[in-house]
Amino acid sequence: MTKKTKTICSIIAGLVIAAFIFYVGEGVSSSSMLRTVLQLGTIYALVAVSMNLLNGFTGQFSLGQAGFMAIGAYTYAVLTIPVDKKANVYYLYGIADSLANVEIPLWLGIIAGGLLAAVLAAIVGAPVLRLKSDYFAIATLGFSEIVRILVGSSPFNRITNGSLGLNSIPGNPSYYTPFIVAGICIAIIVLILTSSYGRAFKAIREDEIAAEAMGIRLSTHKQMAFIISSFFTGISGALLAMYLGAITSTTFPIMLTYNILLIIVIGGMGSVTGSILAAFLVTAAKEWWLRFLDQTMMIGDFQVPLLRTGFRMVVFSIILMLVVLFWRKGIMGQKEFSWDGLLNLFKRVKNRLWGTKKGGTLNG
């Protein structure tokens, strides 16, 4: 394929995706599953890509995503709930005086969510990033739990509304908001990853000792990756709050982190396009295609065994195990989507299907 045809293909693919999003936005009823999957999938795609920046590209295995999402979501919610609705929201505990008259524009709220997550990452990162692999994962996991418990605890009642959570959070101004915000954020992450700093991150993933011997300062670069990742995770948290309209501390359990981990493992650790692809696949499967597993099903008088509430997650866990066992690199591995790669895939599939019939030998 020449460079020109590739560019044309990319433009066409971009237009098709845009047209599809537009069609779902304009032509499909607002209660459609397709809309949910697209919007939620986009938000998960952003978290997955920013988690991948840290876990897949820099090689620092963090499990703190739910915590940073909670910070982003709560910051957005607290700062943007309309002043006249605040009395209703905080009916039980009242609201902190300094926040009573605060209502900032939505876009500023999103950025504030990201910034607060980044600031906390900077504070937590300094000690935590000294830890290696497993210990770093445990420490970030602990951080995530601390955040979740703190936002639901009584000392913060007048800010986070304690265990009641927040509602009346201003929703998406338009159906397209998550796509635009997530699109811009992912584009920035891709730019970071392809810059010299992105290469340094990859060097740290590959071999810390060699990276250090190449003059890359480990502490600052790890800190940078951690802060950037947390910033965009915070933004995605704000988007989630925007999408849901109401949040409590239980919206951000450890399971949320595992869900995103599932997405990046299936998509491929170290692949942006893999994460995006997997985000939509996993969201569609979870919210839509596998829903039937949670409902009891009767065929005549026979009740299909196992199908009941919660079985969906069992199937999900099995899928994760299978991926890790047999398909460790996920959909994309460390590669990114390319037209040549797609062409090769078609050729391989074609060989598989038709190659043997002609009696030709098959190589992998």
Q: Contact residues for another protein (CB under 8 A)?
A: 188, 191-192, 195-197, 199-200, 202-203, 206-207, 209-218, 224, 228, 334
Rounded to the nearest 10 degrees, the angle between the axes of helix 177-194 and helix 33-52 is 20
Measured distance CA(274)–CA(143) in Å, rounded: 27
Name the residue nearer to another protein (CB basis): 303 or 344. Answer: 344
For the chain, the helix, strand and coil percentages under 3-state DSSP, each to the nearest 5: 70, 0, 25
Measured distance CA(128)–CA(137) in Å, rounded: 9
What is the DSSP code string of 218-272? HHHHHHHHHHHHHHHHHHHHHHHHHHHS-B-GGGS-HHHHHHHHHHHHHH-TT-H
Name the residue nearer to another protein (CB basis): 103 or 212. Answer: 212
Among 78, 74, 71, which Cα is nearest to 100's? 78
Name the residue nearer to another protein (CB basis): 190 or 254. Answer: 190
* Amino acid at residue number 48: A
**Min CB(211)–another protein separation in Å:** 7
Name the residue nearer to another protein (CB basis): 98 or 196. Answer: 196
What six digits make up the tokens of 106?
């939505």
**Min CB(207)–another protein separation in Å:** 5
**Min CB(231)–another protein separation in Å:** 12
Measured distance CA(50)–CA(43) in Å, rounded: 11
Among 173, 175, 240, which Cα is nearest to 35's? 175
**Min CB(254)–another protein separation in Å:** 30
**Min CB(218)–another protein separation in Å:** 7
**Min CB(219)–another protein separation in Å:** 8
Cβ(80)–Cβ(166) under 8 Å? no
Name the residue nearer to another protein (CB basis): 158 or 202. Answer: 202
Measured distance CA(5)–CA(363) in Å, rounded: 29
Measured distance CA(357)–CA(336) in Å, rounded: 32
Name the residue nearer to another protein (CB basis): 147 or 216. Answer: 216
Name the residue nearer to another protein (CB basis): 133 or 250. Answer: 133
**Min CB(348)–another protein separation in Å:** 20
